[in-house]
Amino acid sequence: MNSELGNRNYGILVWNGATNTQIGGDDPLLGNIIDYTKIYDGVQIDHAGSGTKIQNNEILINKNMGIYIAHTSGVEITDNYIVENQWDGVFITGNTANANKVSENKIWNNGRKGIYLSNGANQNIDAPSISSASQFSASGTTCSGCTVEVYSDNAGQGQYYHGSVLAGASGNWTYNGALKGPNITAINIDVNGNTSEFSNPLTIDYFIFIPHIIR
């Protein structure tokens, strides 16, 4: 059986004012496999209305972007696998493309960036910084009151989602929990859902425990 059965143009196209479109669903069994598009993106949302939800899908190995959002606000992208797309995993463009939330996905090994914001999208929200990372915690700084989601990856995207933490009034954040590594990355999500690109990766500082032998 030939597994490369992707559409010639888009896997799914939502455009021209369409609202409240559901791609996938809360139940993983409702998800789609969107792969091997020949020319364009796995999912493209262009000049659409708000309310599109992309959830529990596998968006893989598409010719351009995994998900492309242009001049559209209020898109929610959660719990998807977004992997090995030729360009970016999620590309959001246009200064009218705001409050697009990208949360708790598994995004890795895409050709350019895991998440790419262009031309003022998502209010140009900055990625968090990571100042320290070990097998058990990570910390850094970000915008006051932003939610930081913490990931592990072999490079600089987000293959493994670990959890989230709310930054304090000073912008400092600390996540406590087991971290896979070898690199730790993070994204910001503000109160309106604007989501940043992935931070610069920081390699875990591994601690090797050598027991003391009493003779």
**182, 166: one domain:** yes
**90, 162: one domain:** no
Instruction: Point out the domain boundary residue: 104, 124, 144.
Output: 124
Q: What is the DSSP string of the chain?
A: -------SS-SEEEETT--S-EEE-SSGGG--EEE--SSS-SEEEES--S--EEES-EEES-SS-SEEEES----EEES-EEE--SS-SEEEESTT----EEES-EEE--SS-SEEEETTGGGGPPPPEEEEE-SSEEEEE-STT-EEEEEEESSSSBSEEEEEEE--TTSEEEEES----SEEEEEEE-TT--B-PPPPPEE-------PPPP-
- Structure tokens given for 150: 């913490």
Instruction: Point out the domain boundary residue: 105, 124, 143.
Output: 124
Domain boundaries, position 101: 1-124
**70, 45: one domain:** yes
* Cβ-based neighbour number of residue 149 at 10 Å: 24
**Within-domain flag for 214:** no
Q: What is the CATH number of the domain that holds 166?
A: 2.60.40.10
- pTM reported for the whole predicted model: 0.93
**113, 192: one domain:** no
Number of domains the chain contains: 2
How many angstroms separate the CA atoms of 50 and 17, rounded?
Answer: 8
For each of the chain's 215 residues, which pLDDT tens digit applies?
Answer: 445 667 777 899 999 888 899 999 999 999 999 999 988 999 999 999 999 999 999 999 999 999 999 999 999 999 999 999 999 999 999 999 999 999 999 999 999 999 999 999 999 999 999 999 999 999 999 999 999 999 999 999 999 999 999 999 999 999 999 999 999 999 999 999 999 999 999 999 775 444 444 44
**132, 96: one domain:** no
